[in-house]
Structure 1
Amino acid sequence: MAGAKRHTPERIIRKLRQGDELTAKGPDVEEIARQLDISAPTPNNWRKQYGDMKADDVKESKELENESAQLKRLFSEAELEKAALKEIAKG
């Protein structure tokens, strides 16, 4: 391996599917990991995180996370505005 790499979720899912195909052909985990250019425990870690997700599921999850973050920002801004108006009303 050429060192630590960051894989996108879509790429991780693609590699997990490739690993499943290779497993069906019979090589051991070490050989599969070598062919996928990852360490031996990586597929198990990825499988825990991504399970049976598909690439579309990951994209949808990212979109929901972004939307959630935007809503949280809007809510906190509204709360700050509300607090400022209360302070102005007091004085």
Structure 2
Amino acid sequence: MKASRFTTEQIIGILQEHAAGARVAELMRRHGISRPTLYAWKKKYGDLQLSEAKRLRALEDEDARLKRLVAQQALNLQILKDVLGKGR
């Protein structure tokens, strides 16, 4: 997945500008984003505060780490099954 040019803090700042009444066209021009990007961010981050967004990011990082760990364990298990199966 492509990394965003914007940090979570910047995205929340842009969304707060939008919530404060800034026009979408102005936000798009000033920050160099598209309308779909703005609404995708709004869907993902909604009304999150900065502390909540940091916690969300930490949870996403932990989830990714755990998924890698499970995949590695599954691979190790498959290798052991292959080795034990060939020894018989």
The answer to whether TM tops 0.5 is: yes
* Aligned residue among 18, 21, 45 for 1:26: 21
Query: Equivalent pairs: percent with the same residue?
Result: 20
**Alignment deviations for residues 55-77 of structure 1 (CA, whole Å, 9 cap, x no partner):** 22112212221221122112221
TM norm structure 2: 0.69
> 1:65: which partner in 2?
64
TM norm structure 1: 0.67
1:7 matched to 2:4 = yes
Q: Contact between 1:23 and 1:32, CA under 8 Å: does it hold in 2?
A: yes
Q: Contact between 1:33 and 1:40, CA under 8 Å: does it hold in 2?
A: yes
Q: Over aligned residues, Cα RMSD in angstroms?
A: 2.5
Q: Which runs of 5+ in 2 are unaligned?
A: none
Secondary structure of residue in 2 paired with 1:54: helix
Residues paired across the two proteins, number? 83
> 1:17: which partner in 2?
12
Tell me which structure has the larger Cα radius of gyration: 1
How far 1:29 moved relative to its partner? 0.3
Q: Which runs of 5+ in 1 are unaligned?
A: none
1:42 matched to 2:41 = no
